[in-house]
Amino acid sequence: MRTVLSSIGLSFLALIFLSSCVSTSECPPQPGWMRSPELPGYYVGVGSADTGNPAEDRHTAEARARADLASRISVQISGDMTVRTQDDSDGDYSQEVEELVQQSVEKNIKDIQTVDTYYCSSLGTWVYVRLSRQRWEDIQTERRRELLSRVRDLLEPVLKGRSSPLSQRLDRLVRAFELLQDSPLGFELEAEIAGLSGNLSDGIKNEVNRQVGELRLIPEKSEYRSQYGSPIEIRGRLESTSGAGLDRLPIEMYGPENLSVASTVTDGDGSFVLRMPEGLPRAGDFKMRLSTNLGIPDRVRGTILSTALPMAEIDLRLSRIPVGMSLEIRNAAVSRGVEEEVRALFAENGLPFDFVESGNDGGTKLRVVIFVENFPRVMENAPLMAQAWAVVSLEQNGTVLYSYESETVKDGGIDQNQSHSRVLTKLLQSLRVDEELFEGLSTVL
């Protein structure tokens, strides 16, 4: 076991060394406890202060003596706990234990007696305190009894019978486990409560993992098909071989990039429906993961669980939207067709369209109207200038869902055919990078 010296203890040794250098004619004789404070049957503490204000020094020295006593108790308890947990713990865990013990001791320590004080103008004020080891054990026995009573009150109502729902059982088990974790006495507390016996922390962990191990998460189907933009419903159920009530347990669905896309809670029989009213943000084939954390908080999940939480995977296939496209170019005099170029610019921007033959009045239709206008030629040999812009609208069953008018672009050529061809090319290039247009189409879809 490692030997631990508190900072107060080091200060005590240093001051003893300094006191040997002071003439005895300037100070009263030093009591023996300043050199050897240990006392059979007691925890002891020594503290000192030397600010030049004796009244204030007395208060400070007494507080430091109490802290020194608490530190000595903490060192012993932490050392014992480290030995008990060293097989399955790392350094970080040991540090947490020491901090927990120190805080607990300082909070619960009482009945400390001031045995003696010492004052010297050159050494300041010294205080010697003690606490009966038997009294400290009595305090710990009382605290163990209180802790056990709180754990019993949490667990017996839900574990003695089988009528309580699983969500309530797990909640009580986790709360009891955290009570034990928050007390240095909880690591070794043993009792028999509602079928749990022996070390309570271990018993609670075993019970939680047993309950979790009895669960299965079963989707209604392994594959779901839908169309982009359509509402999606995923049905399934959570089952337990123990027959426990399964209402109000959280179910989460994760999609691309492992992001949560839907959540719900189970009904009393464990059934659930996950709904995505607007579907996913893009079409395609996706592997979706269904899981539940059973309401066990993140802060304790890694400590209490060794059994994998229930999960399942499904395939979700979202098809593109069949869209008819109509293109109208007004006043243009060009020898080339641009319909394929227009289709391509919408396909390249990630819109979930599958272009189909138009002509039917129903369904979804993308209507593109391109306007071309000539400018008067101001000089005989000047290029012939033209301007163009587009109006894009998305219709569904005859209703306009979205309409957008682009910026106007200008260009020229040696004749009308060239100027119109060049201005159309420039317009299509402008539309291809028009974020407002494609954001609007994506939003309405």
Q: Say which CATH number the domain at 312 has.
A: 2.60.40.10
H-run or E-run covering 396 = strand 384-396
Q: Does 411 reside within a domain?
A: yes
Q: Does 402 reside within a domain?
A: yes
CA 60 vs. chain centroid, Å, equals 43
Average pLDDT over residues 166-187: 93
Q: Does 266 reside within a domain?
A: yes
CB 46 within 8 A of CB 128: yes
Domain count, the chain: 3
- For 349, the domain range is 321-444
Q: Are residues 314 and 342 in the same domain?
A: no
pTM greater than 0.85:
no
pLDDT at 8 over 60: no
Q: Does 32 reside within a domain?
A: yes
| Measured distance CA(233)–CA(251) in Å, rounded | 13
**Per-residue confidence (pLDDT) for residue 363, from 0 to 100:** 84
Q: Which of 261, 284, 319 is the last residue of a domain?
A: 319
Q: What's the CATH number where 77 sits?
A: 3.10.28.20
The 10s digit of each residue's pLDDT in 199-223 is 999 999 999 999 999 999 999 999 9
CB 252 within 8 A of CB 272: no
Q: Does 164 reside within a domain?
A: no
Q: Which of 135, 162, 186 is the last residue of a domain?
A: 135
Average pLDDT over residues 264-281: 93
pLDDT at 97 over 80: no
Q: Are residues 312 and 377 in the same domain?
A: no
Q: Are residues 14 and 107 in the same domain?
A: yes
Q: Which of 115, 135, 155 is the last residue of a domain?
A: 135
pLDDT at 164 over 60: yes
Q: Are residues 75 and 112 in the same domain?
A: yes
Bridge-partner residues for 276, per DSSP?
Answer: 232
Q: How far is CA 360 from CA 5, 207, 281, in A?
A: 88, 63, 27
| Measured distance CA(82)–CA(95) in Å, rounded | 10
- Strand ranges in 184-297 using DSSP code E only, listed in sequence order: 190-193, 196-199, 215-219, 223-227, 232-240, 250-254, 260-265, 271-276, 284-291
Which of these ranges, 20-29, 50-59, 318-327, has the smallest mean pLDDT? 20-29
Q: Does 206 reside within a domain?
A: no
Q: Are residues 331 and 436 in the same domain?
A: yes
pLDDT at 94 over 80: no
pLDDT at 360 over 70: no
Q: Are residues 61 and 79 in the same domain?
A: yes
**Per-residue confidence (pLDDT) for residue 172, from 0 to 100:** 96
Q: Are residues 335 and 277 in the same domain?
A: no
pLDDT at 87 over 60: no
Q: Does 210 reside within a domain?
A: no
- Which is nearest to 251 in space by CA: 238, 239, 265? 265
Residue 111 pLDDT level (bands cut at 50, 70, 90): confident
Q: Are residues 345 and 276 in the same domain?
A: no
**Per-residue confidence (pLDDT) for residue 102, from 0 to 100:** 61
**Per-residue confidence (pLDDT) for residue 251, from 0 to 100:** 98
Q: Are residues 335 and 434 in the same domain?
A: yes
For residue 18, count CB atoms less than 10 angstroms from its CB and return exposed for 0-12, middle for 13-18, buried for 19 or more: exposed
Task: Give the number of residues written for the chain.
Answer: 445
Residue 96 pLDDT level (bands cut at 50, 70, 90): low
Q: Are residues 24 and 88 in the same domain?
A: yes
Residue 10 pLDDT level (bands cut at 50, 70, 90): very low
Q: Are residues 62 and 15 in the same domain?
A: yes
Q: Are residues 34 and 106 in the same domain?
A: yes
- Strand ranges in 29-170 using DSSP code E only, listed in sequence order: 42-49, 113-120, 124-132
Residues 6+ apart with CB under 8 A from 9: 68, 71
CA 426 vs. chain centroid, Å, equals 49
Q: What's the CATH number where 388 sits?
A: 3.30.160
**Per-residue confidence (pLDDT) for residue 91, from 0 to 100:** 47
Q: Does 149 reside within a domain?
A: no
